[in-house]
Amino acid sequence: MSNTMKAIRLHEFGEPDVLRYEDAPRPKPKAGEVLVRVRAAGLNPPDWYLRDGYRSLPSEWQPHPVFPLILGSDISGVVESVGQGAGGFSPGDEVYAMVRFPADVMEGSKAYAEYVSVPASELALKPGGIDHVHAAGAPMSLLTAWQFLIDLGHEEPNPFQPAPHVPVPLPARRC
């Protein structure tokens, strides 16, 4: 097994043309992690914001990552190997996840690559009725829907959203 993989990496902030498809070190799962061969990755607003350097944030909130980094958090793929103590998964399992979000959003969660190591606690078996592309598109979009429709709060100002968050009341459902 090779020590390298292909990945889309960011070496500097900027427009989409700063992204490079190139060789990168292949991760090894640490204790509690699972190595996933990525079959599909989602593209989400935090990826665009980081690629752009989070310019819309106040300067004191802007990230100072170590380049190169690999963007992306939503993945679907197949378990390649399992690190020590990462029970519940076996090589060959089809899985999906929102990798290290929001913890590593400012540093890149590493989904735009052939392989990504994922904490087992953030991984789920992919439902058999959907393909990898749809599974990779689900995590952040579903989290966003949950937050805006269900989750109360959000009193903190959000520089990416001009108006304060107000949960949407859902009408009673009639069957």
CA–CA separation, 79 and 115 (whole Å): 10
118-163 pLDDT, tens digit each: 999 999 999 999 999 999 999 988 887 777 676 555 566 666 666 7
Instruction: Assess if residue 162 is contained within a domain.
Output: no
Distances (CA, A) of 91 to 18, 76, 105, 123, 130: 34, 14, 27, 13, 20
* CATH number, residue 117: 3.90.180.10
Domain count, the chain: 1
Instruction: Assess if residue 74 is contained within a domain.
Output: yes
Instruction: Assess if residue 171 is contained within a domain.
Output: no
**Burial bucket for residue 156 (CB in 10 Å: 0-12, 13-18, 19+):** exposed
| 50-54, 56-60, 132-136, 145-149: the lowest-pLDDT one | 145-149
Instruction: Assess if residue 23 is contained within a domain.
Output: yes
Instruction: Assess if residue 165 is contained within a domain.
Output: no
| 19 φ/ψ angles, rounded to the nearest 5 degrees | -75, 135
Average pLDDT over residues 110-114: 94
Domain span holding position 47: 4-149
Instruction: Assess if residue 122 is contained within a domain.
Output: yes
Instruction: Assess if residue 158 is contained within a domain.
Output: no
| Token pair 């392989």: residue | 115
Instruction: Assess if residue 49 is contained within a domain.
Output: yes
**Burial bucket for residue 25 (CB in 10 Å: 0-12, 13-18, 19+):** exposed
Quote the tokens at residue 20.
């490079």
pTM for the structure as a whole: 0.83
